[in-house]
């Protein structure tokens, strides 16, 4: 099946100058689906600074003819085997096929990663969506994705420093420009070692097939 970008919209790769516009799309989606916007500009920039992430290959924005950003998607990976897709459409522009096209782009990019993964790797494509977005759930189901797990977002107001209770361990505020890499590595290694425990995502997965190495990522990707 041929999936095309709806008429009247433009697809391109984002630049750093688009970060704020991308955030506005994500924030509008969060407010519509979750009632509150929690994504920040730092979150957008953190995605774009993910190891081996390239805006020119792994990110897309959909704009109106007038240049307004109304859709966004990206794909990240760990060792080309654990592939993470993220796509959002501004609520005012839903139902026009933009989400379907962005999903198609992320699946195509995932196919490219399959050829770079280790031969014995189990290839998994993850998507995270709000549970309240029924249209997104149906879109993923039609694409062959299945619900893996659900998660709840928790928040606590820190009025005082937490008590650690273990000698030699202390809690302090992160120092920007110095601690980001050190703080990221434990998270990355924990995900690499226990990716089956990643929660709250929809996924399509398959093992390598000798004759279908380039397309063996989930039901739809194997078509």
Per-residue confidence (pLDDT) for residue 190, from 0 to 100: 60
Tell me which of 200 and 94 has the higher pLDDT: 94
Sheet strand arrangement including 82-89: 9-12, 59-64, 69-78, 82-89, 122-127, 202-207, 146-147
3-state SS, residue 183: helix
Quick one: which H or E segment has residue 72?
strand 69-78
Mean pLDDT to the nearest integer, 202-211: 37
Mean pLDDT to the nearest integer, 71-76: 96
Contact 82, 124 (CB under 8 A): yes
Q: Return the structure tokens found at 34.
A: 């979750």
Per-residue confidence (pLDDT) for residue 189, from 0 to 100: 61
Per-residue confidence (pLDDT) for residue 188, from 0 to 100: 62
pLDDT(181) > 70: yes
The whole-angstrom separation of Cα 174 and Cα 219 is 42
> Which of the four pLDDT bands, split at 50, 70 and 90, describes residue 102?
very high
pLDDT(221) > 60: no
Mean pLDDT to the nearest integer, 137-153: 83
Domains located in the chain, CATH noted? 9-221 (3.40.630.30)
Per-residue confidence (pLDDT) for residue 197, from 0 to 100: 36
The whole-angstrom separation of Cα 20 and Cα 60 is 14
pLDDT(39) > 50: yes
Report CA Rg, the chain: 19
- pTM, two decimal places: 0.73
Per-residue confidence (pLDDT) for residue 28, from 0 to 100: 97
Contact 120, 216 (CB under 8 A): no
> Which of the four pLDDT bands, split at 50, 70 and 90, describes residue 109?
very high
Rounded to the nearest integer, the mean pLDDT of the chain is: 81
């Amino acid at each position: 099946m041929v999936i095309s970008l709806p008429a009247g919209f433009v697809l391109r790769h984002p630049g750093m100058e688009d970060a704020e516009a991308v955030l506005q799309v994500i924030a509008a989606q969060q407010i519509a689906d979750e009632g509150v916007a929690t994504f920040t500009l730092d979150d957008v920039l953190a995605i774009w600074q993910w190891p081996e992430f390239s805006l020119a290959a792994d990110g897309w924005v959909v704009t109106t003819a007038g240049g307004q950003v109304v859709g966004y998607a990206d794909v990240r990976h760990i060792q080309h085997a654990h592939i993470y897709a993220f796509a959002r459409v501004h609520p005012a522009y839903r139902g026009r096929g933009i989400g379907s096209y962005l999903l198609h782009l992320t699946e195509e990019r995932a196919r490219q990663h399959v050829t770079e993964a280790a031969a014995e790797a189990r290839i998994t494509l993850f998507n995270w969506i709000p549970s309240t977005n029924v249209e997104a759930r149906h879109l993923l189901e039609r694409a062959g994705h299945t619900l893996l797990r659900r998660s709840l977002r928790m928040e606590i107001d820190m009025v005082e420093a937490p008590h650690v209770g273990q000698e030699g361990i202390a809690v302090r505020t992160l120092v920007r420009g110095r601690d980001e890499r050190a703080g990221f590595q434990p998270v990355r290694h924990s995900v690499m070692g226990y990716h089956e425990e990643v929660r709250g995502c929809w996924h399509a997965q398959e093992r390598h097939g000798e004759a279908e190495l380039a397309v063996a990522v989930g039901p739809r990707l194997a078509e």
